[in-house]
């Protein structure tokens, strides 16, 4: 008996010791060279369930979040990106766990280590006031001005209201259960599955069942009316407008089905279960391609979203992101041209379709002279493939990024060019890509050597000529 016990203890020591040797904490970043703290290593999230009881006037949330993940190494502890909240309960696999909060890094230590390859569930209850995160682009994340709420997080605002692996490399599906008092309405990503009203509060149950990057999560709480329609192949379209702006909203988004037709033809099947727009009742200086439900401010209704860009082109831009940015996501924020260059080029494809060849070429020439202007070049970045971290959303990324695709099209011809776009959208669907992946794929599909073209257009401080259109940079 005694011998047995000693042997058992010895065995435990040896086995436990061996296991412990390979075991370690998950990394506190995902290797993004611009934002090394974004995301975390050692696990792969499959699904988030966000159950939020929201008091809009006081901007407090009572939250219950569960995260289903798979360990990708033996984990002694792991980290999530998360703002500062009052934690009311934390378990991992139903066992109490301890945590350490350091800025936006929230480290969880389970009682039992988590073996590589095994699923685990994190369950967190917390309350507090979500604070927007200050990023170079401005305040991002959960935004509440006391009357309504919207969520716009690119590149890293999701952590303002839930614990998350906050990098596009770790996409996951989502369930939302958002409870608000009447008369608020909630619009989030995916499909509205249920509304449950009890004692004057309504819980909106939304399911997003395609993989989604955290910066594309959106939750909007306001006085909305919904307009429904259909896109290609019966795709459900639902647009949410402030109730006093329903007519203006319908007019501004009337051509979305036609845009969906065009982009489906040019890029391949629309990747998600639904599409639509949400217009929040506020003038915003931007729009965002939140997955399945792009977000706009009221400027989209009267031309004030983005000074010189017509509203219809912004509508097309956010739609095109669903293929490029949302379904196919970047792997490094440095390569943001893969999102913005593509969506900006898609605006011109819409011009080509809706206004004809002449208008299209005039737009290309306009882009070129804008971006080739020496005044412009001396301000900050000029090469779209490698913008400084504080200029991720600079015009060069959008405009010269778009021209890069046009240069490719002029080089390989229309048929091969659209074959490249469709092959790219299909091969990296729901996943991540890189500039190197795109260049390799373009070479594979076209059978041409294209590195000189891409190097010049993406990385040379001086904009290359576009001799086919008689365009060259001023001396
Ligand atoms: N991706 C947006 C676009 O369509 C621009 C953007 C970048 C943005 N960061 C944001 C919008 C943060 C809202 C919030 O071009
Ligand atoms: Zn964009």
What residues make up the domain containing 366? 329-469
Do the domain assignments include residue 389?
yes
Do the domain assignments include residue 370?
yes
Tokens at residue 427, please? 């091969």
Does the C-beta of 287 come closer than 6 Å to ligand 1? yes
- What 8-state DSSP symbol labels residue 275? B
Number of domains in the chain: 1
Using CA atoms of 427, 432, 434, 438 in order, give the dihedral in degrees to the nearest 10. Answer: 20
Minimum-distance ligand to the CA of 284?
A: 1
Secondary element (H or E) of residue 436: helix 435-446
CA distances from 289 to 178, 404, 464 (A): 21, 21, 30
- Dist. CA 6 → ligand 1 center (Å): 63
**pLDDT at site 270:** 98
Residue of minimum CA distance from atom 3 in ligand 1 = 288
**pLDDT at site 17:** 37
**pLDDT at site 233:** 94
Do the domain assignments include residue 444?
yes
Do the domain assignments include residue 239?
no
430-466 b/e (C-beta count within 10 Å ≥ 16 → b): eebbebebbbebbbebbeeebeebbebbbeeeebbeb
Q: How many CA atoms lie within 13 A of 129 on its CB side?
A: 8
Which residues of the chain are modeled with pLDDT < 70? 1-22, 303-308, 375-381, 475
Do the domain assignments include residue 19?
no
8 A C-beta contact, residue 262 and residue 128: no
Q: How far apart are CA 309 and CA 327, in angstroms?
A: 25
Instruction: Please write the tens of the pLDDT for every residue from 366-399.
Output: 999 988 887 665 455 689 999 988 889 988 999 9
Q: How far apart are CA 120 and CA 69, in angstroms?
A: 5
Place of tokens 């037709």: 261
Do the domain assignments include residue 387?
yes
Do the domain assignments include residue 74?
no
CA distances from 5 to 8, 16, 19, 20, 474 (A): 5, 16, 21, 22, 85
Burial (Cβ within 10 Å: 0-12, 13-18, ≥19) of residue 206: buried
CATH number at residue 450: 1.10.390.10
**pLDDT at site 326:** 98
Q: Count helices and strands (H / E) in the chain.
A: 12, 23
pTM: 0.94
- Dist. CA 397 → ligand 2 center (Å): 10
- Dist. CA 263 → ligand 2 center (Å): 15
**pLDDT at site 136:** 77
**pLDDT at site 382:** 80
Q: How many CA atoms lie within 13 A of 373 on its CB side?
A: 13
Q: Measure CA 440 to chain center.
A: 24
Instruction: Please write the tens of the pLDDT for every residue from 75-85.
Output: 999 999 999 99
**pLDDT at site 6:** 34
Kindly give the number of the ligand 1 atom that is closest to the alpha carbon of 138: 12
Do the domain assignments include residue 158?
no
Secondary element (H or E) of residue 126: strand 119-128
Kindly give the number of the ligand 1 atom that is closest to the alpha carbon of 321: 4
8 A C-beta contact, residue 96 and residue 90: yes
């Amino acid at each position: 008996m005694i011998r047995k016990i000693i042997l058992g203890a010895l065995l435990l020591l040896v086995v436990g010791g061996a296991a412990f040797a390979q075991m370690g904490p998950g990394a506190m970043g995902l290797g993004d060279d611009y934002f090394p703290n974004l995301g975390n290593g050692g696990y792969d999230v499959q699904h988030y369930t966000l159950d939020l009881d929201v008091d809009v006037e006081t901007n407090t949330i009572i939250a219950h979040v569960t995260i289903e993940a798979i360990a990708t190494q033996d984990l002694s502890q792991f980290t999530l990106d998360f703002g500062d909240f009052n934690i009311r309960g934390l378990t991992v696999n139903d066992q109490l766990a301890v945590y350490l909060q350091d800025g936006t890094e929230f480290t969880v230590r389970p009682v039992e280590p988590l073996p590589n390859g095994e699923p685990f569930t994190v369950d967190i209850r917390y309350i507090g006031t979500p604070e927007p995160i200050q990023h170079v682009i401005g305040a991002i994340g959960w935004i509440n001005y006391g009357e309504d709420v919207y969520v716009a997080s690119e590149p890293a605002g999701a952590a303002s209201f839930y614990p998350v692996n906050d990098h596009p490399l770790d996409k996951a599906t989502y369930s939302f259960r958002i409870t608000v008092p009447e008369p608020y309405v909630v619009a989030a990503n995916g499909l509205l599955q249920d509304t449950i009203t009890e004692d004057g509060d309504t819980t909106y149950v939304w399911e997003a069942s395609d993989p989604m990057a955290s910066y594309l999560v959106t939750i909007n709480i306001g006085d909305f009316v919904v307009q429904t329609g259909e896109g290609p192949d019966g795709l459900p379209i639902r647009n949410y407008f402030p109730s006093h702006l329903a007519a203006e909203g319908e007019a501004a988004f009337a051509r979305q089905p036609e845009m969906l037709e065009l982009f489906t033809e040019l890029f391949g099947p629309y990747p998600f279960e639904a599409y639509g727009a949400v217009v929040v009742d506020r003038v915003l200086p931007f729009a965002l391609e939140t997955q399945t439900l792009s977000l706009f401010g009221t400027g989209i209704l009267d031309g004030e979203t983005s000074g010189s860009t017509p509203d219809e082109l912004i509508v097309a831009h956010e739609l095109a992101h669903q293929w490029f940015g949302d379904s196919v996501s970047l792997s490094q924020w440095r390569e943001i041209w893969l999102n913005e260059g593509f969506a900006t080029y898609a605006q011109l494809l819409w011009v080509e379709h809706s206004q004809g060849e002449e208008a299209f070429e005039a737009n290309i020439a306009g882009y070129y002279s804008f971006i080739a202007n020496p005044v412009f070049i001396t301000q900050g970045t000029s090469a779209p493939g490698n913008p400084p971290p504080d200029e991720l959303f600079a015009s060069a990324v959008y405009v010269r990024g778009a021209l890069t695709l046009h240069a490719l099209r002029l080089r390989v011809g229309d048929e091969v060019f659209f074959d490249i776009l469709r092959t790219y959208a299909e091969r990296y669907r729901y996943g991540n890509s890189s500039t190197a992946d795109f260049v390799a794929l373009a070479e594979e599909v076209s059978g041409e050597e294209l590195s000189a073209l891409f190097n010049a257009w993406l990385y040379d401080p001086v904009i290359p000529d576009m001799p086919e259109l008689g365009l060259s940079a001023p001396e």
